Structure formats: structure tokens, C-alpha cells
Structure 1
Amino acid sequence: MRFIYRLVFALSLTLGVSAQSFAQGLIRDAEAEIMMERYADPLIQAAGLNPDSVDLYLIGDMEFNAFVTGGQNIFMHTGAIVIADQPIEIKGVLAHEIGHIDGAHLARFGDASRGALATMAMTVGLGLAAALAGEGGAGAAIMASGSQFATLDMLRYTRAQEAAADQAAANYLEATGQSGRGLVATFERFRYQEVMSRQRQMEYFRSHPLSADRIGALRRSVDNSPYVDVTDTPEEVDELRRVQAKIIGFMVPPAQTFNRYPESDTSVPARYARSVAYFKRGDLDHARAELQTLMDEEPENPFFRELEGQMLYESGFIAESIAPYERAVELMPDSPLLRIGLATSLIAAGSTEQLESAKAHLRFALTEEPENSLGWYQLSIAHQALGEQALAELATAERAFSVGNNVEAYQFATRAHESLESGTPAWVRAAELKAVAQPSPDEIREWNRNQRQRQPLAPSRGLR
């Protein structure tokens, strides 16, 4: 399962992002993604699908929800993770959504539903475009607006499709030696939604109609599985508790976090959540002290080191943030997100040696995630700081292309191609980008219109 930046708010380096902007929009976090991949990949394979072809997006929203959009895209709210009592509940919800993909249920909707889906995708795209342009607040507001996911109201699965997805989920779970009781437990927890008016129902149960008959049929199927009594391992439960604590620490007001995780609770998840809450409250000393107890107990944990680096970086201690990020990368060298975090600190520090090191880390990350727009943005800054203007323009073209902005991708690729040495790999790549990003007349007109709206009083040469 892939976590893609093409649709992800570019500044979401970690679950924390900036504390003010995290609560809305789409997020990235290495720790949460590793957990979700571990849950999802076996189920995707059991469905006969390629995990590399299924994309998962995490939405920073504390309401329970999960859904599939066009193609093979699964969206899950962080609320669905936090609400879960056990990992098998999240696995069950993922298995159900994979069942919708495998059953091609979205393809069966009529023209009105497809139009609604396109509207939703466009709304999300607008929000992300604003965020990528540096208007984080505007982007978050657009993505969090009522129209963002209200169009999902059109995407109501039929009861037959829900039953088919339930049965498919039970089959995938059985094929992977897991119990389906988690999905039953999730539906039981929310069965009161069946009797509520549509206006008061959670979005998930508007698009996934629930009924006592449906729950009963699913339970019978699950009870017939030879793996019905299989439970999650203690390690899986502990991993979930940590991710839940991290989400809560970043997403709810600190006072609520301290109420849920009082000082008397000395568990790892509780200290993890309190460390983040202190950081959000602006109390870096207490945040680091709480985190230090975790690092003392688990010195090989890369995510604790990453959090320390993030705290220091976002608090303005750039030089001090480098060492914890370096340790995180040392502990988990294959993580693109950790390398981008380290590169960001190195670029901000700004020496020639640090900039060269940042470029190396970014090249590794972008080989793993070529659509990571933040990685390309940071690489363009590093090249610019080193006086490598043509390479900076090429990285900017890559960034634009990664978010679907063909006009700017073509512009910057053309500039880079004109300046780079003929025949070099960078020159060849610039030529490739020019070819694949050639904007259509409609894209050029839309780009010109947007430019005029941004600067209504300034004459614009536009594109020809």
C-alpha cells in the first residue's frame, strides 16, 4: 500500500506538521504508515490486488470514517484509528473498503454519482493547491469545508454492495488467518446510527447503510471461520496504543490530552501523548523531559528521535534538531519521511557540507517516493542555496509535476533544459518533463485565469 504526496498537504512532514494546521486535511506520519501498511498489505494481496497499486490517505479528522474513491484509493480518518479498541477493528474496516475496490462498486454508480465524486476530487485538489502555494490556512479551510466530503452523500452503496463487501472482508481476513470479529464489533458499536435521521448520522453510515440484518449476516459468516477466536498480538496492541496516543496528542487540545493521560499514567502511550501535548502548549522543556524518559527506555526507537528533532526544529533550534534526526535515519534508513525531515533541518542550517548532505538524503527519499512534492521543494531550495540554478528549476518542475500542475512543470522544465549541459542525466530528465507535462490549451487558459485572479491589478503576459 502506498501513501502518496500527490494529494497530500505538502508540509505534513510528520503527524505533527505545524500544530495549527495539522487538524485539517491529509497527513503523513512514518510510524502510523508502517502500522497501516502492516494491516493492509496482506488483505490487499488476499483480494488479488497489488499493494503498490492501492493508495491510502490519512485524513486528520476525529470522526469515524473510511471510504473509497475512484481508482484504488482508500481514505481513512484518524478518528477511525483512535476509536478502535483493537487492531482487528481497523483491519476489518480496511478489509471492507478493499472489498468495495475488488467488487468495483464505485464503477457501478450512475452519472450523478460519478459527477459528485469528480466534484469532491476537485474540491480536495483546490485545497491542496492552496496549501502547496503556501496558503496553508486557506488550503485547510477549503479541504475542511462542508462541500469537501458532502458530495459523498451521492456515493451511497446499496445494501447488496454492503453485504458483498462484508463477505469479501470476512474472506480476506480468513485467508490471512485473522478474525472478523473486529468488523462486527465496529458495526455493533455504531448500530444506533441505523435509527438516526440521515442529517444526524455519521458520514460513514450515510454512505455505508447499516442494519441489524447486515450485522447478523456478517456475524454468522465470521463465526464460521476457523480463525474466529484469533486475537491481536500484544505487540500489535501496543503499537496501536502508541499511534493513538500520538494522534490524540497532536489533534486534541492539550487539556483534553492531559485529562485522558494523567501524570499518574506512566505507560509509554501516556508519556508519548503528554510529550506532544506539552510541545503543543509551547512548553518545550516539559515536552523534552517526558520524551527523554521514553528514549532512555527505548534508545533504538526512531520515532522518538524523530519527534525530538521535530520539536527542536519547529521551536527554532535548528542546529540542535539535526542530531536526533540523524539518529532516527540511522535507526530506520529506508524511511523517506525521516530522511526528508533530516534534510529540512540540514538545509535550514545552511552550510555547504550540510546542503550537500541534504541533497543526498533527498535523492534517496525521492527515489522511493518520486511524487513527494515536499521532497522536491526542499531539493530545489538546496540547489538554489548552492547556486545551482538550473537544477533548482528542474526540482521545481518535478514538484509541480508531482501535484499535477503541468503548466508550471513545463515552464520550469523548459528553463532548466535551456541551461543544463546537453546530454547530462539532468538535461535528459528536463526534456522528458517537457514532453510529458506539455499543457493542453484548457490548462493554459485555466492557469492564466488563476494568475489574473491572484494579481487582478497587474498586467499578465500569460502563456501563449
Structure 2
Amino acid sequence: MLIASGVLLTPSLIPSVQAQALPNLGDTEREELSPAMERRLGEQIMRQIRRNRDYLDDAPTQEYLNNLGNDLLAVRPEARGEAQYDYFFFVVRDPMLNAFALPGGFIGTHTGLILAAQNESEVAGVMAHEIGHVAQRHIARMLGKQRQDMLIPLAGMILGALAASSSPNAGVGIMMGSQGLAMQRQLNFSREAEREADRIGLDIMRDAGYETSGMINFFGRLQQATRGYNDSMPAYLRSHPLTTERIADIQARTRDQPYRQRADGFDFPVIQARVRVLQTNSAQGLFEAEEVFKRQVQQNTRTAIVAGNYGLAMVALRRGAPDRAQTFIDQARAVLKDGAPKTGNAALTSLAIEVRLAARQANEAVAEAEIARKQFPLSRGMALQYADALMAANRADDAVSFLRDQTSLYRSEPQLYDRLAKGYAAQGRQALQHMALAENYALRGSLPAAIDQLGIARRAPDATFYDQSIIDAREREMKAQRMEELQREKDGTL
């Protein structure tokens, strides 16, 4: 995966096919990189990306992108492939205009791209393009006849490209350590692969009800932006540029389609405001964001006023002024009241809970969170905030009861086990606390730490016979998984 005209995309060296038919791969390619192996590679890379400080682990932003991505996938379910990939869309804190696809259905977007988009259709166009790369399994098809031991260097190459956006020297070091230079020729994108992803993306956008002109407009601005890039980036981080021919091809495909105008709701501008604040870590950046929000509030449109007040509330919260943040939230809600969907705005509701917690208004936070759970029953972020509010209100028993139910339904969410451990700690239940921490570490890919936590749980004075039985069983499972990991590392395979 390399930077192609400002967008990180999945590599390919394969011929073009029609977007309407997502082909299956031949037996030879399946033998080398099956869909299950492709997913495992993506998960391995994601475990490392999640440890990066620029990985934006922000529930409202992730939920917005995943809702948008799943809307796109709903009109093209075959894009999930025979393995039925559960796509995951995430954000990386970086001002560059980038997006990238990883094997197995993981798609990342840089904060800079979200901020540069002028409407939701432009973001949808980039995401649909990346879905096209995953749907065509470009990495699998590129590596179809390569040995499996080339996959680990590929992971290093991808991580190196990410690191290089903020620290070129660090990126080079990672890639050289992963034999990235040896794979350079294989990682260059073919123009046919890009056109293929363009065609699939356009079809997905059109069927999902987005403006296909969004892809054209955004790629055009992307082309303008890349002209200003200097040559300091190493040559092996660059791939085929976004060509004029590609843009012309997209225009030709949309020329005969009826124009479709799609008005954005409140969700996109609000998330843009949130990302603008989350992208910066400096006082100057916060000041510049505040100026943008002040100008938005002065505009005579409801969406701009709501987004501007939301952003100002975010700035106030970052500056440690929750009371001032609450004032801006109230102003945003007053404007939103008559024009928003009945379910409200998820990001604004989440921020309201966050502000209540920061102001140490625990009971008010619980009340906000209880309403939010009814409005957004599928929101995982709201569920976590509800648990946080219960803990802040010194309702550890209620929090533990709620979290135990949640972990039975969502077994793969480490955040639930992290909060459950805190709940057990508040109750003084040491064995259960460390058992929950073990599950948290295991889900985050740190099996040695998980096994250590099980050892601590075994020695806890309140560990019952039943607890000991669970600990013994989980320890055997985790040690077996760890042995498999070590064997794969030794063999240089997935």
C-alpha cells in the first residue's frame, strides 16, 4: 500500500473487470492467500495501528464512518466476499488528504480528508473507492503466487507508509526493517486497478443515493492538492498519481446519469467539527479551530450554526470549561430541535454526556445516558458512556450488572472488559477484576499480559473454586494461542 495522489490504496497488478461482476479468484491464488488469511493479515496490522498514538479511538467518529460505510455496503452486499467480511472503518489523526484499504475489510481515513470534503457525498466517494479495492481483493491477487512469508514484510511496509506521513525517517526505518524495499515493485498500483475501484465505487455511490459528482469533485481537488507536494518523500512511498485520464473516465461514466442532488443532514458537519478539534494537540490549533467555528455560527444556515456551536463546545471542553461547553450545547440543541430527525444527533448527545461527566454532574450524566440508550440502542459508544456515568455516580453494582450483560452480547469489545474490571475493583472483587483485565488484554492482542493477569487472579484471596476453574480453562486456551503465535513468528507466516 502506497500513497497514490494523496490517497493510500490497496495495491494491485491485475487486469480490469466490470464492476457489476465481482469475480472469485482462481484455485492457485486461493492456495496462497485465502480470504481467512487475508482477514488475519488485516487484523494483525490493525493491532499495531491501534497502538499508534495517531489512531483516533473516538466512538462518535468511528460510529459515523461505520454507519456511512455500511450504508454503502448495503447496496452491494457481494462486496463482503465469500468470507462475508465485517468491514471496519476507522480514522487516523493526520492532516494529509489520505484514505487507505487494508486486506480483509479494514478501511482507514485521515482526519485531513474528512475536513477537506465539502459534503458527505465526497467522503462516501472515497470510501466507496476503497471498498472497491477490498471487494476485488487486490492485495490477495497481487500476492496470489507469492510465498506466505512475504506477508509480514507487507505489514511492515503498510505501517511504514503510515508512519512516514508524520515522520519520514521513522517510516523508512520501519519499512527497511520489514524488507519493504524488496517489495517496492510489487506494491505499485496499476492504473487499471485504480480504474476498477473507481467504477465499483461509482456504482456503489449511485445505488446508495449519493451524488456521483462527489467523487469527481473531490478527486479533482485532490489532484490540485498533490501538485504542491515536494519531493522530500522517498520514491518508494509514491505510486501512480491520480491521472487526468482517470478523472475523465469517471466523468464519462456519469455524463449520461441523471443529476441527483443529496442534501446533507446535521451528522456530517457535526462530525467535521468534532474531527477538527480532535485532529489538533496544540493550543494554536485549538485557537484556529475556534475561529472556524465562530465564523460558522455567523452563517445563516441551521447546519452551520449547529456545527459551529458543537465545535465551540468541544473547544471549551478541551480547555477545561465544561460550564461554557454546556452553554454551546444548549444553543446547538435549540437550533436542532425543530429540524433534526426524531432520534436526534448522536455526536451531540454523546458530547452532552461527556460534558456532564467533566462537570462532575454524575446524576445528570446518567439521565442523559439513559435517554441516549433509548434513542441510539445500537450505539456502542453510548453503552460505554452509560457505564462511565453509572461509575461516576457511585453505582458500581448497576454498572457491573449492565457490563456483564453487555459482555455476553458483545464478547469481542475490549473496552467493555476494561470498564468491567474497574467496576469489580470498585466492589473490591479482586479475582474478577483481574479476570476481566485478562480478557481486555487478550482482545487487544497482548496474550502475555493476559496470561499474567490470570496468574494474579488465581492468587487473589477472594478467588472461588468456580473462578479457579474458569481461570485454568482460559489460561490453557491463551497459552495454546500464544504458542501458535510464536510458531507463526518463527515460520514467518500468518
Partner SS for 1:333: coil
For residues 220-369 of structure 1, the aligned pairs below 5 Å read: 220-224=252-256, 226=257, 228-232=258-262, 234=263, 236-252=264-280, 253-262=285-294, 264-265=298-299, 267-298=305-336, 301=344, 302-314=346-358, 318=362, 321-350=365-394, 354-367=395-408, 369=410
Partner SS for 1:190: helix
Among 131, 137, 151, the residue aligned to 1:98: 131
1:392 to 1:413, Cα distance in 2 relative to 1, 3 A: same
For residues 130-141 of structure 1, the aligned pairs below 5 Å read: none
Residue identity in the other structure for 2:483: S
Alpha-carbon shift at residue 385 of structure 1 (Å): 2.1
The residue number in structure 1 matching 2:421 is 380
CA distance in 1, matches of 2:49, 2:397: 27
CA distance in 2, matches of 1:261, 1:202: 37
Contact 2:168/2:233 (<8 A) preserved: no
Identity %: 21
CA distance in 1, matches of 2:324, 2:379: 28
The residue number in structure 1 matching 2:242 is 210
Contact 2:122/2:215 (<8 A) preserved: yes
Contact 1:68/1:74 (<8 A) preserved: yes
Contact 2:103/2:134 (<8 A) preserved: no
The residue number in structure 1 matching 2:64 is 34
State the superposition RMSD in angstroms.
Answer: 3.9
What is the TM-score when the length of structure 1 is the normalising length? 0.74
Residue identity in the other structure for 2:253: S
1:327 to 1:119, Cα distance in 2 relative to 1, 3 A: same
Residue identity in the other structure for 1:61: D
Alpha-carbon shift at residue 395 of structure 1 (Å): 0.8
Q: Structure 2: where are the runs of 5+ without partners?
A: 1-42, 338-342, 490-494
Alpha-carbon shift at residue 348 of structure 1 (Å): 4.0
CA distance in 1, matches of 2:229, 2:115: 25
CA distance in 2, matches of 1:244, 1:33: 13
Alpha-carbon shift at residue 220 of structure 1 (Å): 0.9
Among 473, 482, 485, the residue aligned to 1:431: 473
The question of 1:117 aligning with 2:159 is answered no
Q: Relative contact order: is structure 1 or structure 2 higher (C-alpha 8 Å, sep ≥ 6)?
A: 2
Q: Structure 1: where are the runs of 5+ without partners?
A: 13-20, 128-140, 447-464
The residue number in structure 2 matching 1:18 is none
Alpha-carbon shift at residue 76 of structure 1 (Å): 0.9
The question of 1:66 aligning with 2:99 is answered yes
CA distance in 1, matches of 2:166, 2:57: 13
Contact 2:97/2:112 (<8 A) preserved: yes
Contact 2:306/2:336 (<8 A) preserved: no
Alpha-carbon shift at residue 311 of structure 1 (Å): 2.4
Alpha-carbon shift at residue 25 of structure 1 (Å): 2.3
The residue number in structure 2 matching 1:401 is 442
CA distance in 2, matches of 1:303, 1:214: 36
Deviations 1:17-70 (A, max 9, x none): xxxx7xx32322236523542344433651613375222221122321111123
Alpha-carbon shift at residue 379 of structure 1 (Å): 0.6
The residue number in structure 1 matching 2:88 is 55
Higher mean C-alpha displacement, 92-101 vs 28-37: 28-37
What is the TM-score when the length of structure 2 is the normalising length? 0.70
Contact 1:340/1:365 (<8 A) preserved: no
Higher mean C-alpha displacement, 261-270 vs 209-218: 261-270
The residue number in structure 2 matching 1:183 is 215
